[in-house]
Amino acid sequence: MTLKSFFEGARDGRLTAVRCTACGGLAIPPKEFCPACGKRGWQAAPLSGSGTIASYTVIRVAPRKFAPEAPYALAQVRLAEGVSILGRIVDVPLDRLAIGLAVKFHPLVRGDQTGIAFGPA
Ligand SMILES: [Zn+2]
């Protein structure tokens, strides 16, 4: 699985990790080499898209292209399968954000770009 197919799947609402065929480690987004064992052999591992917020930051001063959307939250989400990914939090009021809050994957599609986001579970 490539980054391109990862984002194409995400656009359709499917979050997919890769599983190392040598050590069984999961990685998301797909990487060239396994962070755990250094091998390069992967198979696609579809994820449920459910997870919890492991940490988050509220962005009040955003890069110019996202400035109209600030403030917004970025969170490290620990997925049910045990891997974590950084994503935007959408449809959750900033004052309701909390470590451990259950969230669900939600593609953030803008034109031909797809971002990773999570909304209420
Ligand atoms: Zn490995």
Interval 33-89: pLDDT, tens = 999 999 999 999 999 999 999 999 999 999 898 899 999 999 999 999 999 999 999
Please give the pLDDT value at position 2: 87
Please give the pLDDT value at position 66: 87
Residue 36 alpha carbon to ligand 1 centre in Å: 5
Q: How far apart are CA 18 and CA 27, in angstroms?
A: 5
Residue 20 alpha carbon to ligand 1 centre in Å: 5
Reference 66, options 47, 90, 98, 42; nearest CA is 90
Residue 56 alpha carbon to ligand 1 centre in Å: 28
What ranges do the domains of the chain cover? Answer: 3-120
Residue 31 alpha carbon to ligand 1 centre in Å: 11
Question: Would you say domain 3-120 falls under CATH 2.40.50.840?
Answer: yes
27: its two tokens: 């990685």
Residue 23 alpha carbon to ligand 1 centre in Å: 4
Q: How far apart are CA 61 and CA 71, in angstroms?
A: 7
Residue 26 alpha carbon to ligand 1 centre in Å: 8
Residue 84 alpha carbon to ligand 1 centre in Å: 16
**One-letter amino acid for residue 89 of the chain:** I
Query: Among 14-18, 54-58, 67-71, 100-104, where is mean pLDDT lowest?
Result: 67-71
Residues 6+ apart with CB under 8 A from 81: 17, 26, 45, 47, 48
